[in-house]
Structure 1
Amino acid sequence: MNRPRLFLVTPPAFDLDTFVPSLEAALSGGDVACVLIYRPDTDGRTLQTIAERLVPIIQGAGAAALIYNDTQVAGRCGADGAHVDTSLEDLKLAVESLQPAKIVGGGGTKLKHDDMEWAETGIDYLFIGRLDLEEKPEPHDKTLSKAQWWAELFETPCVALAGSDIESVDAAAATVADFVAVKDAVWTHADGPAAAVARANAILDSHEFPDAE
């Protein structure tokens, strides 16, 4: 049997010393496939400092560490890969420079045609959902419909972005996406990040589906 795995996304802004214990707690809560270090408004030097601190923690917990929109930092800090959503050309460059040694993912597109074009670059996963939009408790309807469409028709793994309520992992997992991404649902959970990750995994365990033959 198989089931979706958890894809954590850091807050877009945080104090590094304060965030480290939160990250460690989240990673102690259960299975986490990867963590995207998502700092969209951070300069390269600061991002490098953050990545050098967080990447070993993430990898030490058995998860993959991904850097948002900076392939150079991804390479320099020993991350497992990069997530690119700026443009198709940037994504092609990332694939060319990082694969096959490292993971390259992308997404955030608006049209299904764009999704297919991005997947044709050879990316390792397609991220469905917009990281730059304000989170609501439930996943956006477009995210759910597109993730279900993608999971049914295409081989490239997909990530479905859940909402700010940890229970929304259920709706995202029901699309049969390979991964479910969570942001605020983990970092702002009333019982803490470890409890949030434990709850997310309990929900994902209820979405086991047969392995492909």
Structure 2
Amino acid sequence: MAEPAARLYLITPVVEDAAAFAPRLAEACATGDVAALLLRLPKADERTLVNQIKILAPPVQDHGTALIIASAGEADLALVAGRAGADGVHVTSGQTDLKDLRQHLKSERAMGVGAIRSKDEAMTAGEAGADYLLFGEPRADDSLPSLESVVERATWWAEIFETPCVVYAPSLEVIPELVATRAEFIALGDAVWSHADGPAKAIPAAIALIGEREALD
């Protein structure tokens, strides 16, 4: 039986102006090919975060895309997600009590974990009940791990563990190499938002590259 096709997982820049960014989200998610979107929000109090998410959720969820939230601050993401109707939360490995967060989220919302620095951290996150792990995303200083190391880590995880894996593509051109890892999701950030022809063109181009690679396997 053929492996299931990898799906797209979008990562936004830190959204400072929710109303201004909402049309961009609608443009991206209207393609119908986006499985999930990680909404990155600035440091703010819980009420402000909830209000921002309520503006940004409809352009995402109305198109069947799961809305995952992350914040640069120390807000109670489980509480925010519940009040705003988000589908899940995303946290940084090593900076959150994952078992406690899993308990607060219960089974109602997804828990994703990123910024994983070692295989031990990856396994710890999986054991704590993470619904997916994200490999290769930009670091806090916007630098990126080497593509070689990301491919190695994602391949290792996808071959051994059942918890889904998301692998970050810094450009559309590297998508075929990442699809070959058998990761369930390909994450895109600037490659979508900064595309010369906009998200509506970038996403079909990404889907085509996924399909071309999978046709070879």
User: Could you say which structure has the greater relative contact order, defined with CA pairs below 8 angstroms and 6 or more residues apart?
Assistant: 1
CA distance, structure 2, for counterparts of residue 54 and residue 205 of structure 1: 30
Q: In the alignment, what sits opposite 1:35? A: 37
Is residue 183 of structure 2 the alignment partner of residue 180 of structure 1?
no
2:93 touches 2:125 (CA, 8 Å); kept in 1? no
CA distance, structure 2, for counterparts of residue 88 and residue 95 of structure 1: 14
CA distance, structure 2, for counterparts of residue 40 and residue 62 of structure 1: 25
Is residue 116 of structure 2 the alignment partner of residue 114 of structure 1?
no
The count of corresponding residues between Structure 1 and Structure 2 is 207
Helix, strand or coil for the counterpart of 1:73? helix
Report % sequence identity: 40
Change (3 A) 1:185 1:34: same
Change (3 A) 1:72 1:86: farther
Change (3 A) 1:151 1:86: closer
CA distance, structure 2, for counterparts of residue 179 and residue 171 of structure 1: 13
Q: TM-score, normalised by structure 2?
A: 0.87
Change (3 A) 1:40 1:18: closer
Query: How well do the aligned residues superpose, as a CA RMSD in angstroms?
Result: 2.1
Counterpart of 2:40, as a letter, is Y
Helix, strand or coil for the counterpart of 2:37? strand
Instruction: Give how far 1:72 is off.
Output: 1.6
Instruction: Give how far 1:201 is off.
Output: 1.1
Is residue 61 of structure 2 the alignment partner of residue 54 of structure 1?
no
User: 91, 96, 99: which is aligned to 1:92?
Assistant: 99
Q: In the alignment, what sits opposite 2:74? A: none
User: 26, 45, 48: which is aligned to 2:47?
Assistant: 45
Instruction: Give how far 1:14 is off.
Output: 4.0
2:16 touches 2:42 (CA, 8 Å); kept in 1? no
Change (3 A) 1:54 1:129: same
Is residue 152 of structure 2 the alignment partner of residue 145 of structure 1?
yes
Instruction: Give how far 1:88 is off.
Output: 6.2
Q: In the alignment, what sits opposite 2:142? A: 134
Q: In the alignment, what sits opposite 2:26? A: 24
2:179 touches 2:214 (CA, 8 Å); kept in 1? no
Q: In the alignment, what sits opposite 1:103? A: 110
Q: Give the ranges of 4+ consecutive aligned residues of structure 1 lying more than 4 Å apart after TM superposition.
A: none
Instruction: Give how far 1:186 is off.
Output: 0.6
Q: How does 1:72-91 map to 2 (within 5 A)?
A: 72-85=79-92, 87=94, 89-91=96-98
CA distance, structure 2, for counterparts of residue 90 and residue 133 of structure 1: 24
Q: TM-score, normalised by structure 1?
A: 0.88
1:147 touches 1:177 (CA, 8 Å); kept in 2? yes
